[in-house]
Structure 1
Amino acid sequence: MSEDLERTFVMVKPDGVQRGLIGDIVSRFEDRGLKLVGAKFMQIDRKLAEEHYGEHEGKPFFEGLVEFITSGPVFAMVWEGQDAVRQVRSMMGETDPAESAPGTIRGDFGLDLGRNVIHGSDHEDEGSNEREIELFFDEDELVEWERIDETWLYE
């Protein structure tokens, strides 16, 4: 991976999977010019869910988060590109879909704070991106490859 590229973790949550939104969401990131380097359709178990939401442990909503994310399959992904974390966060919209602009994933597909379709690593939480990628993917599950249009995407 080039020095100026970064990777970010993204997950279509159970509500997004149930609503058939995986393809729409993947297309948006591909259309933006981001490169998919890892993906898996999976059922999260309680242990992984508790690790994933560990920073919220002890908060009143923690159990609800764990129950929801383990309620059905998810689609976990790693995307690569320049400033990928910020780009993905911008494309996702605000955590609360009611505050998300039309054109963002949550603004277009989200209906409820607790059912907001997608999760993406946060830039402000130092290290969360790497931690989440390592929680969901082994290094050998991430593929190094070159898009044929990369020279047209980046200077």
Structure 2
Amino acid sequence: MERTLVMIKPDGVERNLIGKIINIFEEKGLKVVAIKKLRLTKEQAKAFYIVHKDRPFYESLTDYISSGSVVAIVFEGENAIKKVREIMGATDPKDAEEGTIRKLFGLNKEKNTVHGSDSPESAKKEINFFFSESELIAAE
């Protein structure tokens, strides 16, 4: 079984969408392996999004991610990375397909409610960013 990370961004947490978002993933057959609510510092946000450090949106993205609480979730399932990406929808909510999380809840390209790992390599790195091995409980 494959594991991937989903982060519910500050706009989703502020709007009380945590349960609704988790439910959507669970209804599609994914299982929660670990979950944690926290607030990232600006330095932690920069470390998490280091792959984007040369992009023009890096500063505003890291400001936004560190502006409120986030919820980090590890999901497990068959083709979990691909499945999560499909369930989330396109980065820009106005380009996302109907029924996807970003279409349903996203406010704009930056405040698009959820982040999800885009490859096995990033999933491993991102899971390890938020969770220790002992916090990862195999799906039952």
TM-score under structure 1 length normalisation: 0.87
CA contact (8 A) 2:32 2:139 kept: no
2:23 matches 1:19: no
Partner in structure 2 of residue 75 of structure 1: 71
CA contact (8 A) 2:85 2:116 kept: yes
Q: Greater relative contact order (Cα 8 A, min sep 6): structure 1 or 2?
A: 2
Query: 75-84 vs 39-48, which deviates more?
Result: 39-48
Partner in structure 1 of residue 39 of structure 2: 43
Partner in structure 2 of residue 94 of structure 1: 90
CA contact (8 A) 1:48 1:135 kept: no
Identity %: 47
TM-score under structure 2 length normalisation: 0.96
Task: Specify the structure having the higher radius of gyration (Cα).
Answer: 1
CA contact (8 A) 1:49 1:66 kept: yes
- For residues 106 and 145 of structure 1, what CA distance do their matches in structure 2 show? 26
CA contact (8 A) 1:122 1:128 kept: yes
AA matched with 1:134: N
Give the gaps of 5 or more residues in structure 1.
Answer: 147-155
Moved over 2 A (4+): none
CA contact (8 A) 1:34 1:81 kept: yes
CA contact (8 A) 1:9 1:77 kept: yes
